[in-house]
Structure 1
Amino acid sequence: MKWLEDENGLQYTVTSSQSIKKFTEVVSAYMGFEIDTGKRLKQLLIIDPKMPMALCTKGYFAMLMGNANFTDKAIITSQQLNDIVKNVSVSPREHQHAAALSLWACRDLEKAAIIWEQILLQYPLDGLAARLAHFAHFYSGNGRQMRDSAARLVPYWPQTHPDFGFVLGMYAFGLEEADSYREAEKYGRWAVEINPKDIWSAHAVAHVMEMMGRKREGIKWIKKLEPNWITVNNFRHHLCWHQCLYHLELGDFQEVLKIYDEKIVSDLNADFYLDVCNASSLLWRLEILGVEIGERWHSLQHISAQHIGDMELIFVSLHYLMVLSASGKTDLVNEMITNIRHWSTLDTSQSKIVADVGLSIAKGLHYARKNELYLAIEKIEQVRGKIEAIGGSKAQLDVFDMILLDAVQKSDMNQKASDLFAERVRKKPHSFWSWKGYSRALSELGKTEAAEDALRRSQRIIEDY
């Protein structure tokens, strides 16, 4: 094997220059969420089975699956890679990537992210490190880090680089999660203009429209771009989830159910965690809004039960727990909460978050479904101010706020409900449910005029649609 350098100045240990070309294609496919990314990597490993960065990426992709079975596979791959690194002269950057995989496979995502950021300081055109750092910051709930990490990269990437738009998209999403909505939209739209297939950049703009209450624009945005995503993996279903949120806030529940049935749960057999996150959070929202969902929880039970023992991402595990709790699978729920409690005692990046926030949310979800509302309120409210630590976006985390408000209102805690809904209508002034809930709370407090005004606002949102 020999060292060769690509057009970005990155050194690789390979058998031939063809391996570098194929690896570059794998990274571009990964950044673009292409459905054949894994297939491309397998083809590369056939022609260059000991290429360190190809093996490392195999391990990374296993960890990105976010479940225990694939973590075990990543550990094996990491061991194979470390054996090669010991016996073959590899570049310093490849050493760093191997170290990052070892840490991540041991569930220390935080330290792995530190290494990726160190790589980027010296090699800012390392798209793989850039995208993985972005992922790590996202699931650590750190929008500012997502923004700043990408901001450091943008000046180094030539606008003629084929992956330049992907870097803009990461920057756009970081800006959005850091509440810089106008700037986020500018960079997200720029990226989509460069590449209409760029779903992550389209996703950043979709978030902006959700946060700003521009629901009709959001629906048009997704419908216009959706034909470009034929070759995109199941992440495209997450954009359908965003479309559902727009319709949900407009009271168009039949359209939500239609999109749910036809798209969001159309490929559950793929066992892609985000599909269940999309589905479970949407069904719980629908139930809070009083929509009859039939037997839709049932199709999510089997896949969720397979992940009771996962200890990868607490954000994901909470959504599996939502399914089992909503389905009344008490034994499985108790088993999963016991596992989450054990998880909270370990020494990993996520275990600290589980101990600080995740375990309380898990208990709160269980209490909410058991109708033990005061306990649900206590558990969720005590971590409400730091819930972003579990990862996920502001749009995704909103379901936990809705669960809390629903429990408060059902408990006839009218003053607390009024206060929480007053806060919510200022954050989400275009939400009919928020104004309706505020109206009910005000009415219970005898504030008739204010309650009627809030109800009119709620009705106007529906009527305008």
Structure 2
Amino acid sequence: MTHDQHGLAMTGAGAAAARHYDRAIDELLHLRVEVDAEANAALAESPDFPMGNVLMAYLGLLTTEAEDARAARVRFGAFRGRIDESSLLPRERAHLAAVQALLDGDFLTCGRLLGEIAVAHPRDALALAAGHQIDFFTGDARSLRDRIGGALNAWREEDPHFGHVLGMYAFGLEEAGHYDRSEEVGLRAVELNPRDVWGIHAVVHTYEMQGRFGDGLRYLDARVPDWSTGTFFNVHSWWHYCLYALEAGDVPRALAIYDSVLAGGQSCLELLDAAALLWRLHLDGSGPPELGERWRALADAWPMRVAEPFYAFNDMHAVMSYVGAGRIGEAEKLVAAREAYVLEPRPGVTNRDMTLRVGLPVCRAIVAFGRADYRSVVDLLYPIRHRINEFGGSHAQRDAVQKTLLEAALRAGARDVARVLVSERVNVRPCSPYNWLKQAAQAEALGERAAAAAARLRADDLVRNAYVADRQ
């Protein structure tokens, strides 16, 4: 029997396999692509090493790529057929059950089982990291915070991965709305490990949710070498940079980053980042020729990745891409396929419920927006606006849906709804130029020219002052 670097017992691994496993966990926590090579090396040394097979399964299942999931099912099924599970340690059997739940499409049961592992073994870095991603995919902000917070006291500052645990905790704090504490914890995580891109990501989210785009740009600019290369998170980090640029009104900068980094993405994560950025520009009135070719290339990349239902959050971004490219028929075809999918009873399949409750209304709304049927967009999105989190993603990512609703309300002349939505946004984030520009648009629609001019001046002042002041 061997032990991993965090003191947890493991069966079925020789010394070399255990070393590769430890390296793989380190690469995973750094979000580096080398995690795959190290996990494969561990299994090359000890093919039936339980935790090595568990790790490999999580890597295949948490990409949200249907093809990766199919390969993981085959590989994990073969592994289970070769071993005597009764000989495994309780923690290992618990991981097998969690992986099987995920293979069966049951994200919620997987997350619960990983939580039970973390209660018994709070230093199980894999259980924490995989559970953290499950919470993200299901939009569970409270669990994002408490899953890691509940394990934190079992870690010490001298632990090599203590900073990574802090980085995960910072992100959970941010998603749960604890912005001051999130910033404090995230900055500490990055201080301990400057290349902790998830910790950097947590700080970036905190600034985004507070509307502190000037702080965000300065923070990322000061650390470009730490977050911009060498991980499978590079594109997403650049996407956050683009959000700050858009808030500052710097569309050329955002498009330059899109063309050099986001365009040509291969994974679902990269494609949805690209779609989410172009959709924000689309909402603000950018269209062909500015975005036309970009939309077409992006729409071409989606069909094979949404050929079968797997994750409703991805479906939304595929529909955005089709609508942005003017291919409404393809968007409607995807919606129809998902409507057929939810008609079949699929007990325990989390994505089926996500699609039914949130994914389909959102996708239908995006199609309606593409058809300029703005009243239907409002009718579809307003009733579900407080439970959009149920199909995953972060607050920052889901804001594309909220902005679609607001823009549709303004264009539909739904004055009361637009007033409520603008009031909500501007009072939560009064330092956001976008929110004040929408306040101006609402005032203009009501014929209140002086109020509209004042709101536009406020937006201009925020952009101007963001580069000289830490906060507004």
Q: TM-score, normalised by structure 2?
A: 0.93
- Alpha-carbon offset, residue 192 of structure 1: 0.5
- Equivalent residue number for residue 104 of structure 1: 102
- Equivalent residue number for residue 405 of structure 2: 404
Letter in 1 for 2:279: W
What does 1:161-172 align with in structure 2 at a 5 Å threshold? 161-172=159-170
- Equivalent residue number for residue 326 of structure 1: 324
On the 8 A contact 1:249/1:430 being kept in 2, the answer is no
- Alpha-carbon offset, residue 315 of structure 1: 1.3
On the 8 A contact 2:238/2:257 being kept in 1, the answer is yes
**Match for 2:230 among 225, 229, 232?**
232
Q: TM-score, normalised by structure 1?
A: 0.95
Change in 2 beyond 3 A, CA 1:449/1:132 = same
Change in 2 beyond 3 A, CA 1:155/1:79 = same
CA distance in 2, matches of 1:226, 1:340: 40
Moved more, 169-178 or 39-48: 39-48
Q: Does 1:245 align with 2:240?
A: no
- Equivalent residue number for residue 275 of structure 1: 270
Aligned to 1:344, the other structure's residue is in SS state: helix
What does 1:112-131 align with in structure 2 at a 5 Å threshold? 112-131=110-129
- Equivalent residue number for residue 310 of structure 1: 308
CA distance in 2, matches of 1:134, 1:87: 26
Runs of 4+, deviation exceeding 4 Å: none
CA distance in 2, matches of 1:433, 1:95: 50
- Equivalent residue number for residue 394 of structure 1: 395
| Aligned residue pairs, count | 460
CA distance in 2, matches of 1:410, 1:58: 48
- Equivalent residue number for residue 282 of structure 2: 287
Give unmatched runs, 5+ long, in structure 1.
none
- Equivalent residue number for residue 150 of structure 1: 148
Per-residue displacement from partner, 1:243-298 (whole Å, max 9, x unpaired)?
11111011011111111111222x52xx3211111111110111222333241112
Change in 2 beyond 3 A, CA 1:78/1:342 = farther
- Alpha-carbon offset, residue 96 of structure 1: 1.1
Change in 2 beyond 3 A, CA 1:135/1:87 = closer
On the 8 A contact 1:8/1:125 being kept in 2, the answer is yes
On the 8 A contact 1:310/1:317 being kept in 2, the answer is no
Change in 2 beyond 3 A, CA 1:445/1:69 = same
- Alpha-carbon offset, residue 87 of structure 1: 6.2
What does 1:5-404 align with in structure 2 at a 5 Å threshold? 5-86=3-84, 89-229=87-227, 232-265=230-263, 267-268=264-265, 271-291=266-286, 292-345=290-343, 346-347=346-347, 348-404=349-405
Change in 2 beyond 3 A, CA 1:13/1:188 = same
- Equivalent residue number for residue 461 of structure 2: 460
CA distance in 1, matches of 2:59, 2:148: 21
CA distance in 2, matches of 1:437, 1:231: 35
Letter in 2 for 1:125: R
Aligned to 2:11, the other structure's residue is in SS state: strand
Letter in 2 for 1:382: P
On the 8 A contact 1:344/1:359 being kept in 2, the answer is no
Q: Percent identity?
A: 28
- Alpha-carbon offset, residue 337 of structure 1: 0.8
- Alpha-carbon offset, residue 178 of structure 1: 0.7
CA distance in 1, matches of 2:12, 2:300: 43
CA distance in 2, matches of 1:122, 1:134: 17
Aligned to 2:92, the other structure's residue is in SS state: helix
On the 8 A contact 1:415/1:445 being kept in 2, the answer is no
- Alpha-carbon offset, residue 7 of structure 1: 4.5
CA distance in 2, matches of 1:412, 1:229: 43
Moved more, 309-318 or 274-283: 309-318
